[in-house]
Amino acid sequence: MIKVGISSCVLGQKVRFDGGHKLSRFVDRVLTPYFSFQPICPEVAINMGVPRPTVRLLFKNQTNLLVDTKTHEKDFTDQMNDFSEKKINQLNEQNQMCGYIVCAKSPTCGMERVKLYRENGNTIPGGTPGLFTGKLIQKMPWLPVEEDGRLCDLVLRRNFIVRVFALNDYYKNINLQSKRKDYINFHTRYKYLLLSHCQEGYKELGHLVAHICEYNNEEFYHIYRQKFMDTLRKHANRKTNTNVLMHIQGHYKQILDKNEKKELSEIILKYRNSILPIESPMTLLKHYQNKYYDKFIECQSFLSPYPEELNIRYGMQ
C-alpha cells in the first residue's frame, strides 16, 4: 500500500477543536483501498486537547505566531515548530511517503490561504500556509500535498493522484544505487505522461539523464526526483494531451486500416475541441493497443497512471 500522510480529522478522527471531524468521502470511499494513511493532528500531538479553544495565526514582529483566538496570550508557536521539525524529519528519513492530504483553512494544516491576522484584528490579503504544512512543503518540496476541499476539483484531484502513484513508482524502481540504465528505463516509461504535463520539463529530465555521470548517485537521485515531481505538478490540458495522443497515434499509422485511422483522428479532434472527454480517445487507444500491441506504448504510464478502478478521468479535460 502507498504511504500517504493525512490530517487526522480528514480521515474521520474526532480531533477537531469542537470534538468533531471532517471526514472526506473521497478519501474514505475511493482512496482507502489504495493508500496506507498515516494520520497526524499537530494540535493533538502537542497536547492541546480535544475539545480545545480555537487558535489563529497572528503576524507579529515579522513572524507568524500560533496563538489562542480570544486573547492572543497563549502562544503555541514554539511547541508547534518543534513538533513540526521533528515529525517532518522523521517522515523524510522514512523516504517512502508519497503524498499528504491536509485540512483546508487550519492554522496548522492548511496548505494555502489560511487567515493571517494583524494585531489590530484585520487579516493580511492572500493568507499563508499553516505552520505544520508550511514546513512540510519547505522541507519536502517534491512531496504531493493537497487540501481535502481542493480534491473536490476533478483537475486538482487527478493531478494529485497521478503524482502520488508516480512518486511511489519512483521509490519502487529507483534507489541510491540505481544506474544510468535504470533512470533511462524509468524516464522512457514516463515519456508521454511527462510530455502531457510539461514538454520543457520532460526535455530537462532527459538532459539530466544524459549527463548522469556528472553527479554522484545520491545527488542525482534527489535532483531527478525533484524535477520529476515539479514537472508532474504542472497541469495537463487539452492542448498538451492532444499532442501526446497524436504521438501515440503515430505508433499505429502502419497498422490501422483506413476506417480505424479516420475514427481515431476524429475522436482526437473532438477531444481537442472540447466535444468529448479524454476518456474517449484513451479508450479507443487502449482498444487498438490490445488489438495490435506496440511494445513501447505498452510500457507508457500515460495510458494507465493509476488503477482504472479509481475512475477519476471522467469529466476531465
Q: What is the pLDDT along the chain (317 residues), one digit of tens a residue?
A: 999 999 999 999 999 999 999 999 999 999 999 999 999 999 999 999 999 999 999 999 999 999 999 999 999 999 999 999 999 999 998 779 999 999 999 999 999 999 999 999 999 999 999 999 999 999 999 999 999 999 999 999 999 999 999 999 999 999 999 999 999 999 999 999 999 999 999 999 999 999 999 999 999 999 999 999 999 999 999 999 999 999 999 999 999 999 999 999 999 999 999 999 999 999 999 999 999 999 999 999 999 999 988 866 544 44
Q: Domain ends where: 152, 183, 200?
A: 152
Residues 204 and 131 both lie in one domain = no
Question: Is 21 among the domain residues?
Answer: yes
Q: At 57, which helix (H) or strand (E)?
A: strand 55-60
Instruction: Specify whether 30 is located in the same domain as 129.
Output: yes
What pLDDT score was predicted for residue 11? 98
The verdict on 180 and 292 lying in the same domain is: yes
> Residues 101, 6: contact at Cβ < 8 Å?
yes
The tally of domains found in the chain comes to: 2
Range of the domain at 307: 168-317
User: What's the pLDDT at 317?
Assistant: 43
Q: How much is the pLDDT for 159? A: 96
Shared domain for 29 and 172, answered yes or no, is no
Give the position of cell 472527454.
277
Does residue 161 lie in a domain region? no
Residue 188 shares a structural domain with residue 143: no
Tell the residue number behind the cell numbers 490501422, with chain if given: 256
- pLDDT of amino acid 308: 85
Give a yes or no: residue 54 inside a domain.
Answer: yes
234 with 99, same domain: the answer is: no
* 49-56: Cβ within 8 A, 24+ apart: 50/14, 50/15, 50/16, 50/17, 50/19, 51/16, 51/17, 51/18, 51/19, 52/17, 53/17, 54/17, 55/17, 55/107, 55/108, 56/107, 56/115, 56/117
Kindly state whether residues 199 and 61 are assigned to the same domain. no
Phi/psi-derived region of residue 15, left when phi > 0, alpha when psi is between -120 and 50, beta in every other case: alpha
In-domain check, residue 199: yes
Q: Is residue 159 part of a domain?
A: no
Instruction: Please indicate, yes or no, whether residues 186 and 247 belong to a single structural domain of this protein.
Output: yes
- Cβ neighbors of 310 (< 8 A, separation 6 or more) are 30, 34, 161
DSSP 8-state assignment for residue 294:
-
Tell me how far apart the terminal alpha carbons of the chain are, to the nearest angstrom.
Answer: 28
What DSSP line would sit under 72-86, residue for residue? Answer: S--B-HHHHHHHHHH
Residue 262 belongs to some domain of the structure: yes
The sign of the dihedral angle between the CA atoms of 16, 17, 19, 20 is negative
Q: Are 289 and 298 in contact (CB under 8 A)?
A: yes
Pairing of strands 55-60, 63-68: antiparallel
Residues with Cβ within 8 Å of 66's Cβ and at least 6 positions away in sequence, in order, are 55, 56, 57, 58, 75, 76, 77, 80, 107, 108, 131
Does the pTM surpass 0.75? The reply is: yes
Whether 292 and 172 map to the same domain: the answer is yes
CA pair distance 218, 139, nearest whole angstrom = 17
Q: Sheet holding 63-68: strands in order across?
A: 63-68, 55-60, 116-117
Tell me whether residue 160 is in a domain.
Answer: no
